[in-house]
Structure 1
Amino acid sequence: MEIKPFGFSRSFEIPGSQVAAELGEDLLAEMTTLRATIVQMRARHGEALLEARREGFEVGRTHASGEQSGALLAATDALHAALDNVDLRLSDQIRAIHRDAVDLALAAAATLAGHAIDFAPGRAVDEALDRALEQVERGTGLVIRVHPKLTEVMEERLATRIARERRKLNLTLMADETIQPGDGQISWKEGALGVDAAARRAALVAELAPLLDPAAPGTKESDTANIADQIIL
């Protein structure tokens, strides 16, 4: 019987971060608070409309002793002015609340998508290396390419890994300026694995798109993408 090496897939799914489990309850509570605030704002908007109508009616009654046409015009103007003012204030408040909801949703999704570079540099690449080592045979040579700014951090991580591993690891670290900081590429003879923040960002925006109301005031698709850039990249 002839035994041949098995060709593994060149792409692997990145499991969700354990950090999300610790933050999930707080993020859900804050989202619930934002939704409740929107409901309260809409209720106050209805009350303000009723008050504006009452004010308009009172203005009309005040001018009833004069010419009827003048009184009606004054009441209509007062009503329109009150409604415009209420709508303007409500739109501003809803816009601010919706923006906060977008920020919170993207922050929560970013927590699930990966680790912030500033807080855990090299962690995403190190975890990708764990998955790569699970897929290859013992002693397989792995080439790890990262941005030059990340080489020192990765050298420390690799040294720690080699010290705790019982099996012999054949790891080669290389600096590559074409790779974005925080990203990485792990390759071996029969396959490869990549850590790509841009791909995570695209998946994040695609997942959030159905959840966010595109018709909300002041919210555009480009705004969502820009926030995703700031959080993930």
Structure 2
Amino acid sequence: MQSRANRVLSRRRLLRTAGVTTALVLGGCLDDVPIGDAQVDDDGATGDDDSDGTDPGDRSTDGDASDASWNPFEFDRPITYTYETYSTDEGAGTLVWDVTDVTDDEATVTLEYETTDTQFETTVSGTKEDLQSDLILTPAGTFVLATLFSPTMGYYEGRTLSVGDEWSYSSPDGSVRFAITERRTYAGVECYASVTEVDGRPVHEGCFAPDLGLAPYTVYYDENGERTFELALVSIDT
């Protein structure tokens, strides 16, 4: 059982990450804009997602066979995701998300998270909201909040995914742009790659698979363009 000191540290890091991630991604530009209420730009520009130098998975620039949408945390069958992870605080690690006992509205998830300094496993059950509230208060909460439950992910939820589509918001504080750039493959899973830019600076890249409840890939960058959190699917078992 973790000590009280470790629990306090975890919560402090969680709160710091929540504040930094939200401020970095939203940049004060989206305060009055509801998630999912943007319009696709007319020019259909694709953007550029090669800024990080990390392994982007197998790429394809072919056109879409059909459009699809992504709905996170909607699990219709037992499934296990295994990711390689990275964070500036904890370095490289692994995260296993094992879904069992799936019903129409709920699921049971066993989360295993391991880095050089952290080894943690827990099982939680409930709705999407239950899973989020329980998991972000664990020792893995900092990483989970910054990746799986990040505010950025919501701007792709339920949206039609098609290579070349983009949408943006602007305000007196700045602008933010979202774009679907290409198709990639992680662990044999094809997904739609995306880039999120604040005032022209990439802050997030992701990849969304319509048939999966979790994104196969996500990475965040700081103001210097250095990655702060990264998660890449390396295997999936159904």
Task: Please report the TM-score for the alignment, with normalisation by the length of structure 1.
Answer: 0.23
Highest RCO, 1 vs 2 (Cα 8 Å, sep ≥ 6):
2
Task: Please report the TM-score for the alignment, with normalisation by the length of structure 2.
Answer: 0.23
Pick the structure with greater CA Rg: 1
